[in-house]
Amino acid sequence: MNLHQFRFVQEAVRRQLNLTETAKALHTSQPGISKAILELEGELGVDIFVRHGKRLKRVTEPGLQVLKSVEVIMREVANLKRIGEEFSKQDAGTLSIATTHTQARYFLPGPVAQLRKRYPKVQVVLHQGMPEQVARMLLDDVAEIGLATEALAAHDELITLPCYEWQHVMVVPAGHPLAALERPTLEQLAAFPLVMYQPTVTGRTRIDQAFERAHLRPLVALEAIDSDVIKTYVRLGLGVGIVAEGSMRTEPAEPDLAWRPLGHLFGSNVTRVAFKRGAYLRQFVLAFAELLSPRLTPALLERAMAGQGSDYEL
C-alpha cells in the first residue's frame, strides 16, 4: 500500500476510469497506473473496479468504501504540505481562489489587496469559472477557497459560509425612461428587452423565479457571464441591464449609466465562501476569510471546519 496507488485510484475515478487519461494527467506511464491499481486491489483482496475484459466499467461496492478512505488520506497529505508551507516559509505560500467573474472583478480586489499588504510574501492565484466549476475546483484541490452565489451549497463535500448579502440592481443609460423611477416594477422592467447573467450565474435563478411568479415572460436580449459585458451592451442601448449591485459601486463612478436597486423585486442574495471539508486552513487563509467578511473569524471557521454540517449560518 502506498500513496501512489491512492493517488492513481482517485485520479482514475476523476477521469471516468480512463487509465490512459489518468496517466497523462499525472505525467506517468499508463502501464504504471494499471499495475499500481491491480497491486492495490491484490493487497486489499478486493476489486475496486468492475472490468469488462480489459476495460474499466465502474466502481465496485467495496471500491466506493475504499475511495472514501483514499479521499481522506489524500486530503491529509495535502494538508501536510500546507502545514509545511505554513511553518517553513512563515507568512508565505500560495493562496488559490476559485470564483466567478463578478466576485473577482468587483468584490475581491479590496480583500486581496489588503491580504497582500499584510502578507506580502503570499502569492494569490485567481481561478475564474462558472459557479459549478468553482465547486469542482475546490473538490479537485485546484483551489483552496471558493466564492460564489450559486451552486456551492449543493455539495456536501464543501463547507460553505455566508459571506455578504447583496441585491440585484437595474442599470440603464442615463436618461432612459426607467431611470426616472425609484422603484421599478416587474411589469415596467418586462416592457424592455433585458440584458442579464446566464442562467447559472450570480443569482440569476431568483430573477427567473420572480418573473415566473408574476406570469411575465420578458424578452432576454442578451445573456452574459459578467457584468462588464452586460454594462457594455446596456450602453449600446440593447436593453435594460440587471446586475449585482457591487458591479455599480465602482471607483470612479460611471455617469453615463443610471442604476436602481431591485431588492424589492428579486429579494436579496447571499454570496458564500466555501472550503473543502477537512482542509487545513493556514493563517493567511483565515486572515483572508476575515477580510472577506469580519464575521468570518478564525474561531468560527475552526468550528465550521471541525463540524459535520455543510452550511453554517452566522
Partner DNA sequence: TATCCTTACGGAATTCGTAAGCATG
Partner DNA sequence: CATGCTTACGAATTCCGTAAGGATA
- The residues that touch DNA, with contacts defined as CB under 7 A, are 2, 4, 17-20, 28-32, 34-38, 51-57
Q: Which of 40, 33, 3, 38 is nearest to 19 (CA)?
A: 33
Name the residue nearer to a copy of itself (CB basis): 1 or 174.
1
- Show Cβ contacts of residue 212 under 8 Å, excluding neighbours closer than 6 positions: none
Phi/psi for 207 (5° steps) reads -65, -50
Smallest separation (angstroms) from DNA to the CB of 53: 2
Tell me which of a copy of itself, DNA, none is bound by residue 88, counting a contact when its beta carbon lies within the kind-specific cut-off of 5 to 8 angstroms: a copy of itself
Work out the angle between the directed axes of helices 61-88 and 3-14 (0-180°, nearest 10): 110
Q: Amino acid letter at 308?
A: Q
Distance, CA of 116 to CA of 265 (rounded, Å): 38
Under the criterion CB under 8 A, does residue 89 sit at the interface with a copy of itself? yes
- 54's contact among a copy of itself, DNA, none, with CB below 5 to 8 A by partner kind, is DNA
Considering only residues 46 to 75 of the shown chain, the ones binding a copy of itself according to CB under 8 A are 46, 61-62, 65-66, 69-70, 72-73
CB-CB contact of 132 with 225 (8 Å)? no
CB of 41 to DNA, least distance (A): 9
List the single partner that 1 binds among a copy of itself, DNA, none, CB under 5 to 8 Å by kind: a copy of itself
- CB contact set of 121 (below 8 Å; sequence gap of 6+): 89, 91, 92, 93
Residue 311 backbone phi and psi in degrees, to 5: -135, 120
Site for a copy of itself in 3-22 (CB under 8 A): 3
Q: Pick out residues in 272-301 that bind a copy of itself (CB under 8 A).
A: 280
Residues found near a copy of itself in the complex (CB under 8 A): 1-3, 43-46, 61-62, 65-66, 69-70, 72-73, 76-77, 79-81, 83-89, 280, 306-308
